[in-house]
Each structure stands twice: as C-alpha cells, then as structure tokens.
Amino acid sequence: MIYDPTADDLKRKVWQGERIDAEEAMRLYRLPLSELGSLADRRRQIAKADQYNGKGDEIVTYILDRNINYTNICNVYCKFCAFYRTEKDLDSYVISHEELDGKIDEMLEVGGSQILLQGGHHPKLNMDWYLDLLTHLEEKYPQVNVHGFSPSEFVHFREVFGLPLQEIIGKFQEAGLGSIPGGGGEILVDKVRKRISPLKAMSDEWLEVMDTAHRLGLNSSATMMFGHVESVEDRIEHLDRIRVQQDRSGGFTAFICWTFQSENTRLKAPPCGANEYLRMLALSRIYLDNIDNAQSSWVTQGLEIGQIALTYGANDLGSIMMEENVVSQAGTVYHMKENDMHRLIHDLGCEPRRRNNWYQLLN
C-alpha cells in the first residue's frame, strides 16, 4: 500500500461531504484503512444525521425477513454459483403455494415483515405462474412485503415471455410485488460479467430493469459482489454506474457489498479478507453520496467484522435471515439471532431498531 502524502485536500473534501470522482476514489482506496474508515464514518453521519427525528446517526437498523428461493432450476450456470440445478437433478424443485405459506407462517410467528423472493432462471415457468404466486401472496399475506425478482430474473422473463420490461414489471407490481432486490449486480462491467456469468444480464440490462422499476415507483437495493476476477478500477466503475443511475431514477434505498465465496463453485479466487472488505465498504459509502443506507455483510464476514463494518460506513445490519440458501451453499456459515444483533449494536453505543424495506422504523 503506497501512502499518498498529498491526500490532505482530498480528505478535507470527503470530510466536508463533497462528491468525488473515479480518480479520487482510486487515491482514497490507497489510504491506510483506518483513515479511510474514519472518512466513511463521517459520510455515514452526514447521510443519516437528519433522519429518524435527528437520531439517525445513533440508530442502527435491521430487518427481520425470510429468504425464499422459489426454484433452484436455472439455465444460466454462473461460475460463482453453487445453488443452481438443472431440471434433471434429483434435488431440483419449484416451490408450491403450500410450501411457501408454511415458510411465511413461520416467519410471521417470529415477527417478520418481508420475504426476499428470488430464484433460478427457470426456462419454462410462464408469466401466469408468477402472477398466480404474487396474487396468492397478496390475498393471503397483505401485510408482508414481497421484495422479489432481481434484475437478471426480469431480463430472463423478457426473453421467456416475449414482452417489454415495463409491461412485465407493471403486471408484477399490480399483482403485489413491493420492491426489487439488487441481486445479480456482481460487477457492472461487461468484460467481468462475460468471464463469470456470460449468460446472465449484462450491465446495461441490469440498469435498464432498475431504471424501469424506479420509474414505475418501485424501490430497490443495489449490490456489489467483489473479490473474484475484477480489478479495483472495475469496482470503481461499478460504483460509478450505480451512482449515475441513482442520479437519474433515484430508487435505490440501500447499497450492499460482499466478498465472493468460492466453496462449491467453479470460479476459483484467493479469499478476500476483512481488510479488503472494509476498504471497499468504506469507499462505497464515500462514492455513493446519493444512497442513504449501506448494509454490513455480516453473513459473509462474520459477526465481529459485521460489527466493525458499522464504523466503516454501514448503518444497517441487513437481514436476520431465517433461511439463506445461495451464499451458504458457497461456504458461508454465519448466523445471528435478534438478541445477538442488539448486543453488537449496543456495544457500539447505538440503538438497535427494526425497520421495513423503506427504512421506516417498526418498533
């Protein structure tokens, strides 16, 4: 790591809350980690200070939801994925309404408010199958937000259904879809996507879905999975594409980054450690000056780094996931109960609060 003695002006600029460009981001990336962390923490304070009746800076939020994968059948074969199956695999499945209800009933018993509904890119399910599913959920569980279907799923639907994105997303919205997860973002640089997931939505398509959804009034999250074949410049380009999109359509409620988990996948890369994770989280908080919330990825980093992340720009611990199938099949094993989350947050001198998908406090 090269120390940049001329960085004082840049640090002052970040401290004052000004926008930085890609070249400045690269210089920040080379700062000692603790300095970068302090600057990101300052930007977290600036972003959150006016929220929650002026207490936003002291509150750390989380959501209680359940991750439900409606099918593991997928014909995209991403090299980093250990979750997908083909239709011929004995353990492939498509969820039934009864199974779905059982999972939601369990979630409601412990106070959950949202399902994260995502799946493989199933080659045969038609639009009626999805609309039936959403209508069923809306009728039976109107109190539960359906945070569902990542942009790459919508791009797949466009191919399978042969309809424009706006029409598909509009119909899903009418049937009860509440918001869209930012899954499948990985790195929004096509030369990277062509190496790790050549059959999946490319960068412009991913952003096109978000643009369409935001204009229809649906909020979404934005994500980044890093630590595989990309360069630091690619990561900064990814952040820039997200920031430009947010300036345009304004619907990203949060940014979530995590490191690639390689176990059981065909993509091999040296593990990306806590230093690199915290460095990128901090840089993301500073670069994405138009997204209020940054989540800590304790699921991939563990509880201790997950807690430290709250001093490196994150203001939210994400989900207490009742079920996680995708990252866990690639080797991640971290779990946390609600009282563990409270302990970590209190330990930092902050107040833990449950939230909904729109970052409104619930308790």
Site of interaction with ligand SF4 (CB under 6 A): 74, 76-78, 81, 83-84, 120-121, 152, 197, 200
Which residue number, 119 or 313, has a Cβ lying nearer to ligand SF4? 119
Residue showing tokens 């988990």: 261
For the range 38-42, what are the long-range contacts, defined as Cβ-Cβ under 8 Å and sequence gap of 24 or more? 39/11, 39/14, 39/15, 39/282, 39/286, 40/281, 40/282, 40/283, 40/285, 40/286, 40/312, 40/313, 41/311, 41/312, 41/313, 42/14, 42/15
- Least separation in angstroms between residue 85's CB and ligand SF4 is 9
Beta bridge partners of 255: 222, 294
Q: How far is the CB of 150 from ligand SF4 (least distance, A)?
A: 8
Cα gap 342→260, rounded to integer Å: 27
Mutual orientation of helices 151-161 and 127-140 as an angle, nearest 10°?
Answer: 130
Nearer to ligand SF4, 150 or 356 (CB): 150
Q: Which is nearer to ligand SF4, 11 or 121 (CB)?
A: 121
Q: How far is the CB of 86 from ligand SF4 (least distance, A)?
A: 11
In the bound state with ligand SF4, the residue whose beta carbon lies nearer, of 81 and 144, is 81
For the chain, give me the number of helices (H) and strands (E)? 14, 9
Alpha helices in 197-231 (DSSP H): 203-215
Q: Which amino acid, residue 339? A: N
**Which C-beta is closer to ligand SF4: that of 202 or that of 348?**
202
- Smallest separation, CB 88 to ligand SF4 (Å): 16
Of 38 and 328, which CB lies nearer to ligand SF4 in the complex structure?
328
For the CB of residue 75, give the shortest distance to ligand SF4 in the complex, in Å. Answer: 8
CB of 139 to ligand SF4, least distance (A): 28
Alpha carbon distance 151, 132 (integer Å): 20
